[in-house]
Amino acid sequence: MIQTNPGPLDGSIADIAQQVLAGHPIDRTQAQTLARATGDELYDLFYWANKIRIRFVGRQVKFCSIVTGKVGACSEDCGYCAQSKHYKTHVSPDKMSVHQMHEAAAEAEKNGASSFGIVNSGRGPTDRELDWLEPFFKKTADQGTIRPCATLGELTEPQAKRLKAMGVKRINHNLETSERFFPSVISTHTYDDRKRTIQTAKAAGLSVCSGGIFGMGEDWDDRIDVALELRDLGADVVPINFLNAMQGTPLYEKTTPLEPLEALQIIAVFRFILPDRELKIAGGREKILRDMQSWIFFAGGSSFLIGNYLTTFGRSPKDDHQMLKDLGLGYTTFDEVEHEAEPATATSHGPGHPIADAPNSLMSRKRDALVTLPVMPEA
C-alpha cells in the first residue's frame, strides 16, 4: 500500500539532486538514502530523476532492437536464463542466417531503432562464429544507418579487436548483479570474468553496454553496487532489466516479482548515480511495470528496447510509438536526427499476432508461439 504521510527524506532527495545537477557524483551513503524513499517520497525521487535526465541526457528517447543469432544450448547455468542447457524450458536451439539478420535489422530501422544487436548464446564466440557474423556486421557498418552491436559472451583481446575491425560499434556484456550476490545466480563463470570482458572491449575502442537484472532476490545494497561498479567501469549504456522468470529456470516461482513502483525506484536511483549515461529499460518492462510503462522516463530512463527480447515477446512497436506520442516525446536515430513518434509507420502487429506485417516478417510470430527471434519463415 502506498503511504501518504509526508516523507522525512524529501529535503535530502532535493539536496542530493542539486548536488548531481551541479556535476558532483553521489556516494554510497547518499544512494542508500535514495533507496529508503517510500510513499510520497518516491514521487519526489522521480521528479528529480527526470530533472537529472533532462539536464544531462536530454528529452529525446532512443530505441534499440535485438535478435538471437544463436539461441539455446548454452553451456552456462545462469539461473534466470531460459537458454541454458542445464534447464528444461520452452527454448529450442536455433540459428539465424545472415540474410535473416539483415531483414531483422531493416525492420528495426523502420521502427526507429538507433542500435541493432546480435545476441548469441554460449560462454563466448568461436572463430567460426565470428566468420559467420562478419558479413553482417561489415555490411551494416558500411551502410551507416543503424549501430551494429554484439552480445557474444566473454571476449579475448584478439576477438574484441576483430569485432572492432569488422564494424561492431558496441558490445553488450551485463554484470547482471553485484559481486556479492553473483554466486547465488551463476556458478559456471565468475563476476571477474564479466568485468574482464567489459575492460577488454573498452581497451579495443568499443562502446560498452552493461547493466543488470533486478528482482532476482538481491537487496538494495546489491543494486547500488551494480550502479557504482558500472560508473567505475565507464559503461556508456546501462540496460535495466526486470526479472520475468521463465518456467524451467531455477528462479521460476522462487522469486517475488517486483512491484511497479520499486522497479521505477531502481531506475531513479541509477539515474542519480549515473546522470549522464543512457539508461535503457529492457527485459521485463511489460510484465513488471504493467500500466506504468510510460513512467520510465519520469523516473529517469532515456531509452528502451523496441520489439522482442531474448526468450519472451515485447509489445507492438506501434504501441510504443503511441506511448511516446501521447507523452509528447520524440526519438533520435543513429544519425542523431530527431523524429516525432509515428504509430502509423511502426510495425502494425505486435509479437505473437497471427497476422504478420509482411509475409516473412521476422518481427511477427506464429499463433501461440513463446520463443522470440529467431523464428524461421514457414515454407
Measured between its terminal Cα atoms, the distance across the chain in Å is 52
User: Is residue 351 one of the residues assigned to a domain?
Assistant: no
What is residue 148's DSSP assignment? Answer: E
What is residue 340's DSSP assignment? Answer: E
At a CB cut-off of 8 Å and minimum separation 6, what does 125 contact?
A: 133, 152, 153, 155, 159
Q: Which amino acid would we find at residue 259?
A: E
In Å, how far from its chain's centre is CA 230?
A: 14
User: Is residue 190 one of the residues assigned to a domain?
Assistant: yes
What is the rounded distance in angstroms from the CA atom of residue 335 to the CA atom of residue 109?
A: 11
Q: How far is CA 178 from CA 23, 111, 182, 259, 269, in A?
A: 26, 34, 6, 21, 15
Q: Burial of 20 by CB count in 10 Å (0-12 exposed, 13-18 middle, 19+ buried)?
A: buried
Residue 322 C-alpha cell reads as 503511441
Q: Which domain holds residue 140?
A: 54-327+334-340
In Å, how far from its chain's centre is CA 34?
A: 23
What is the rounded distance in angstroms from the CA atom of residue 343 to the CA atom of residue 218?
A: 37
User: Is residue 362 one of the residues assigned to a domain?
Assistant: no
What CATH number is associated with residue 167?
3.20.20.70
Quote the pLDDT of residue 44: 97
User: CB of 175 within 8 A of CB of 226?
Assistant: yes
User: Is residue 12 one of the residues assigned to a domain?
Assistant: no
User: Is residue 313 one of the residues assigned to a domain?
Assistant: yes
User: Is residue 282 one of the residues assigned to a domain?
Assistant: yes
What is the rounded distance in angstroms from the CA atom of residue 302 to the CA atom of residue 279?
A: 5
Q: How far is CA 10 from CA 122, 156, 161, in A?
A: 46, 47, 48
Residue 243 C-alpha cell reads as 526479472
User: Is residue 8 one of the residues assigned to a domain?
Assistant: no
User: Is residue 272 one of the residues assigned to a domain?
Assistant: yes
Q: Which amino acid would we find at residue 242?
A: F
pLDDT 10s per residue in the chain (379 long)? 344 444 567 689 999 999 999 999 999 999 999 999 999 999 999 999 999 999 999 999 999 999 999 888 898 989 999 888 888 888 888 899 999 999 999 999 999 999 999 999 999 999 999 999 999 999 999 999 999 999 999 999 999 999 999 999 999 999 999 999 999 999 999 999 999 999 999 999 999 999 999 999 999 999 999 999 999 999 999 999 999 988 999 999 899 999 999 999 999 999 999 999 999 999 999 999 999 999 999 999 999 999 988 877 788 999 999 999 999 999 999 999 999 999 999 976 433 333 334 433 443 333 333 333 333 333 2
Rg (CA), the chain: 20
Quote the pLDDT of residue 308: 86
Query: What φ, ψ does residue 50 adopt, rounded to 5°?
Result: -65, -40
| 3-state percent helix, strand, coil for the chain, nearest multiple of 5 | 35, 15, 50
What is the rounded distance in angstroms from the CA atom of residue 227 to the CA atom of residue 165?
A: 30
Quote the pLDDT of residue 90: 86
Q: For the chain, how many structural domains are there in total?
A: 1
